[in-house]
Amino acid sequence: MPPITLVFVGTGLAAWLNGLYFLGIGADKQEGAADPLKSVGWMSLVAGLVDLASAWYILTLGDGAILLAGLITFYGIFFTLLGITEIAGLDLRQVGNVAVPVAIVPLFYWDFFSGGWMFRSILVVWFVAFLAIAATTYGRLQAKPLGAILVGVAIYTFWLPVVILALGNTIP
């Protein structure tokens, strides 16, 4: 299960940095300094590429779990797009447009995660988070609530599962 751990850690860091940025922590552009959003974008891009590499690993070198690789690919493509958009200073509304299917389609994985409540609750949290991303990119939700959501997402949906696994337990 190492690729899943990489997905959790990398994507969690990207969600964390984006959350802090939207909360306004480290978001001030200093005169003559680089735009902090570009640094956040690089982390998002790296997380997306790690997700895509992990999905490839699962399909080709791992156990070939096509559904799991498909789900990871959904997030990998999203974070890759987000990173490129942030680095290049492009229109974030297109990221919001992609966030809508990324919010909805994973809910169809509900039965894939039967037998445990945590992954199912994560699907619900992601649904809310990705709809919040879309709402923020279109000015329907302020940046600070999205930032708080993303920080919570990083902790609960990405890092808590890694901590549970690191302690030698199975994810409930």
Domain presence at residue 171: no
Domain presence at residue 72: yes
The verdict on pTM exceeding 0.85 is yes
> For the chain, how many structural domains are there in total?
1
CA distances from 159 to 11, 14, 15, 67, 124 (A): 9, 12, 11, 22, 16
Q: What is the pLDDT of residues 116-162, one digit of tens each?
A: 899 999 999 999 999 999 999 999 999 999 999 999 999 999 999 99
Domain presence at residue 32: yes
Q: What is the pLDDT of residues 65-81, one digit of tens each?
A: 899 999 999 999 999 99
Q: What is the CATH number of the domain that holds 38?
A: 1.25.40.600
